[in-house]
Amino acid sequence: MLLITLLFIVSFSKETNQTVLNSQDTVELKLVEVYSAPLDKYSFGQSLQKIDSRDLNEFQGQTLADLLQQRSGLFLRQYGAGMLASLTMRGTSAGHNAVFWNGIPINSPSLGQADFSILPVGGFDEATIHYGSSGALYGTDAIGGAIHLNNKSTFNKGHQTRVASTVGSFGRWNQLVEYGYSNGFYSSRSRVYRNTSKNNFKFRNLARAGSPEERQNNAAIEQIGAIQDLAWNIGANQQLSTSIWWNQTDRQIQPVMGSNDKDRQEDRNFRAVLDYNKFTTSAIWNIKTGVVLDQLQFNNSINKTSQFLLSSDIDWTISEKLKSKSGLRFNHVIGNLSSYEATEDRLELYQSINFLPSPSLSFSVNLRQMIFNGDFAPFTPSIGSEWTFFKNNKSTLSTHSSLSKSFKIPTLNDRFWVPGGNPDLESEESISAEIGLIHVFDNKRFFISSQINIYNMWVDNWIIWLPRGNFWSPENIREVRNQGLEYFITAKKTFNLTQLEFNGSYNWTLATILNTISENDRSEGNQLPYTPFHKAQGNLRLTHKTNTAFINGYWVGERYINTDNISSVAAYGILDIGFSKSLTFISKVKASVGFQVNNITNNDYQVLRLRAMPGRNYLINFNLSL
């Protein structure tokens, strides 16, 4: 803690002096877009994947859960079509992955996780996956990885309007209307969306004798929301921006097969962030404040949480080879839940260093210390490196490695739920190591990039809920080792006006329980429940002039239901096909129309046991921009 404090004070003091020295020599920046800190600047040795903008466009009107399940190697535990979807990365639990929107954390403080089924793709402009332990960079929750969602505003674009609509099977109708205006000083963009679905698909009810075909009921969804982005260029070297996101989702909760439950859930989410950036010849100073208000009503039970955030950091260039970032973040959390009320304060100090001794070799060091309700959370350092050991005019070979520590503080529910909450819980901690190899070949007509990562992770003090008399209570009792392999490939071949492109990934995940929790526990050495050993995904896209056709498929291996690894949910594969065409009517009026068939083989499958999923279904989408 003393080390990180000294580094922060020294960095802050030196940058303050540097800013004063350069106050008369600011940079005349051509700010054509709103600045956001690059995620890869201090993450050498770690793996980041930016979601392709074409995928974001194709999934307009759908959810982030749909996008990640179909176009990434990640596995999401989906409780039905449009129902709760939680993410598992590198074999960790849903609460071990952090989600950020424009730099502020939006995981629920009470549940410790985000529901990806209520994050519409139309609500953000960029999405990036950070694979692996990243607590030193982002703080609590990022044991398995992090998802970053960002809005992107631009200047000098004049008037811009976009209308998008998707109509599909089972009563699906998604709509989005967007209008923006910007000049050299001011940028504004407004978006409203509405997504509805009856979700009345047919399925085989495996819980009834003879597995009769039935139509799903009590699974309808209605979601509405609005987003407002504003930005100002304040002179030549200052920028102010804000984003506001309001979302409302009303759902009938799809019952498990054999049940006639009529549960309902209503989610109300309000998020706002305000950023101030000042640019000098050697530094970027950022002040960020944000608020995250969540309300979840399940039947008649209402649970509310509030987060109020304030952060500041200075990212400065010491020399061409050395860069540094020093900062702090404060988060005040309030929980008003059906069975308890609680508050907590989190103060984080962090220091990052980026060192490039040569053009082919780079290192990064990250240090973070959280003070949690007056107590020190586990200190979280990380170190990473990247080395390009071969390079010519066509090929590049590079390797990367990292060693990091992460943590997760217990959720509000873990500590205060009545009955059963355990206020004496300790933070979950992890140590992670990974190494990877990247190869890139490009001769202008053919391009291929492939990457392989191998990782090992040990998680201690894993929190699980255990029966204690008439109720359940959480304890720090589980120890888990996560190890695996990730492979990514992108290949492109160009033939005059035609391009053939393939993107694919494969994930092998081994999440092994290392200890038993009772004499009758037979879980030691077994795989964690609902953690597939294998997942493979691929997307083949053919583009000719303004026409695009694609085939997308993914395969998920079997998932064990319990820690005894006796019963499992069968492996499944899904194949989708689609076609789209872009049209230009006059110089500024552009349109696109697309048709898509999902689950074309009409597979009968479940992601989670006895949770029905739809068979073959269809989507038609239309976009108009001017």
pTM for this predicted structure: 0.93
Residue 29 has pLDDT above 50, yes or no: no
Residue 5: CB atoms within 10 Å: 12
**To the nearest 10°, the Cα dihedral for 366, 142, 249, 609?**
160
Q: Any idea of the CA torsion for 200, 201, 204, 206, to the nearest 10 degrees? A: -50
Which run of H or of E encompasses 397? Answer: strand 395-408
Torsion, CA 228, CA 234, CA 239, CA 241, rounded to 10: -10
The pLDDT score that the predictor gives to residue 118 is 97
Question: For 203-220, what is each residue's pLDDT tens digit?
Answer: 999 999 999 999 999 999
- pLDDT of the residue at 236: 83
Tokens of 284: 């970027």
Residues 377-384, mean pLDDT to the nearest whole number = 95
Burial (CB count <10 Å: 0-12, 13-18, 19+), residue 453: buried
DSSP letter (8 states) at residue 63: B
**Average pLDDT, integer, range 104-119:** 96
Rounded distance, CA 167 to CA 64, Å? 18
Name the pLDDT band for 16 (thresholds 50, 70, 90): very low
pLDDT at 315: 97
In the chain, domain spans? 2-625
**pLDDT digit string, tens, across residues 41-82:** 999 999 999 999 989 988 988 999 999 999 999 999 999 999
> pLDDT value at position 170?
97
Higher pLDDT, residue 23 or 89: 89
pLDDT at 61: 84
Instruction: For strands 589-598 and 559-560, give the pairing.
Output: unpaired
Nearest to 451 by CA among 438, 440, 434: 438
Class of domain 2-625: mainly beta
